Amino acid sequence: MPSPDKFPTTPDGRYFVVKGRLWRASNPGLASDERQRLVDALMKARREVAAALKARDGNAQKAARQAVDEAKRALGERGPVWWQDGAPDFNRRMVANTPYADWFAALRP
């Protein structure tokens, strides 16, 4: 999960904010060893994307991007939401256009 000093996390822990945009946080219910395994897989896949781009290998790039997506879905950052209260998903939305707008505005001096 990103540093709270650099990327504030919403009070409910569902999102962190980067450049005014909400990004879904990983599922806090994952066991620490499972989370680490998935983060390791994500980082490996991201390195593979970079290598494929550098090599201009479209097939490798497609496979690496799919591996990134699979890891992010397993972490709960994409796909079905990990919370159970029926609240909508605001992933990738500008925080100012969500119910978190007042919370975020209050963070700024």
pTM > 0.75: yes
For residue range 50-105, what is the model confidence (pLDDT) as tens digits? 999 999 999 999 999 999 999 999 999 999 999 999 999 999 999 999 999 999 99
The pLDDT of residue 3: 47
**In b/e form, how buried is each residue of 36-61, taking b as 16+ CB within 10 angstroms?**
eebeebbeebeebbeebeeeeeeeeb
For residue range 16-53, what is the model confidence (pLDDT) as tens digits? 999 999 999 999 999 999 999 999 999 999 999 999 99
Report the DSSP beta bridge partners of residue 23. 16
Distance from C-alpha of 10 to C-alpha of 22, rounded to nearest angstrom: 9
Q: What φ, ψ does residue 86 adopt, rounded to 5°?
A: 80, 5
